[in-house]
Amino acid sequence: MKNKNILTIAYCVIFLYLLFACSKNDNVIPPATPTDLQFNAQIVGVTDTTPNGDGTGRVILNLSGKNVTSYIVTLPTEKQSLSLNAAIGSVTCTFASQPGTVSQYPINISAYCNTVKVDTTTNVTVYVRGASEPGTALVWSDEFNGASLDASIWNYETGNLNVNNELEYYTSDAANVSVKNGYLQITALNSPNYNNSGWNYTSARITTQNKYSFKYGKVEMRAKLPGDKGTWPALWMLGNSISTVGWPKCGEIDIMEMGTVTGLDNILCSLHWGGDVSKSRYVSGSTTDFHLYSLDWRADQIAFYIDNVLLFSQPNNSNLPFNANHFFIFNVAVGGDMGGNTINLGSSSTMYVDYVRVYN
């Protein structure tokens, strides 16, 4: 009987020990809760004259926090939800439900640590253009979805044009210019003594001169740029009057150019008319991914945007040549003032253009 009691006591002690040990198990922790949530809403196109944005209704929401695995951002007025699967990052919110007004829009933010959620709300006051306002109606475009360049829109310029100390010989060869897989492709190549011309590099330069030109409007171009040394890609415009008044009196609008000399990923936007203005921005990944290059051209100002973020704006007036029709020029130069003397063309010598669009 005594031994039985001792055995019973021993079992009880073991049970209590196991129970106590389980309650102290450091590996059993409750789910973490998202903390230190930070968010910042940047309205696209804010300037002194457009304090509520450029009318596109776009807002870049930057998010960060501790113990966060993901976010869900809800736009109740737009009936839309956006997700971000990271502790730090951004999402682009687009508001369009109240066109023609400056309105306050709520943004609901849910931060998750697995299944644990913390909710918060912020509000932004954004201007959204009306359907009949400038910059909303598409009036012309080339989406480059065909099998070849549209000859009713584009011209090929050929030869070395004897400008800017450039070293390329422009051709209409398919190896230098083509339309494939929904993209315009302009490629600079090593071509020693091309067709006995004495030039050792070939590329392409196309224009809409005498086929399409316009005055004022919003222009959007989505492109991926070449990254090989010696390349100088450009998406730009010249005034129709170049044949009568010459350059620079005709006016030049450089929506995008990038040269090896000024730095890969360093995008320049410029105006030339005899008095010049130019500014640049470092755009990481311009040679490995597509980016949006935009122009807002009006009678009173000309503004340049990269990925919908304003680079600079310049006043326009009747004394400047930017109140007459201009035509497009797309090209990849080799060497020269911005291409430089070190030329190494290889696997990254192609400029890809997804589309060019002109809005009213």
Q: Which residues are known to be catalytic?
A: 252, 257
Q: In this structure, which amino acid lies at residue 192?
A: P
Residue 243, C-beta contacts closer than 8 angstroms, at least 6 positions apart: none
N-terminal to C-terminal alpha carbon distance within the chain: 102
Q: Which residues partner with 154 through β-bridges?
A: none
C-alpha distance from residue 337 to each of 228, 307, 317, 334 (Å):
16, 27, 30, 10
Residue 138, C-beta contacts closer than 8 angstroms, at least 6 positions apart: 357, 358, 359
Answer whether 60's CB lies under 8 Å from 44's CB.
yes
> ∠ CA 204-210-214 to the nearest 5 degrees?
100
C-alpha distance from residue 127 to each of 194, 296, 338 (Å):
54, 17, 39
Answer whether 335's CB lies under 8 Å from 166's CB.
yes
CA–CA separation, 285 and 67 (whole Å): 29
Going by C-alpha positions, the residue among 179, 203, 205 that lies closest to residue 191 is 203
Q: Which residues partner with 206 through β-bridges?
A: 156, 330
Q: Which residues partner with 41 through β-bridges?
A: 61
CA–CA separation, 157 and 163 (whole Å): 13
Going by C-alpha positions, the residue among 87, 190, 168 that lies closest to residue 335 is 168
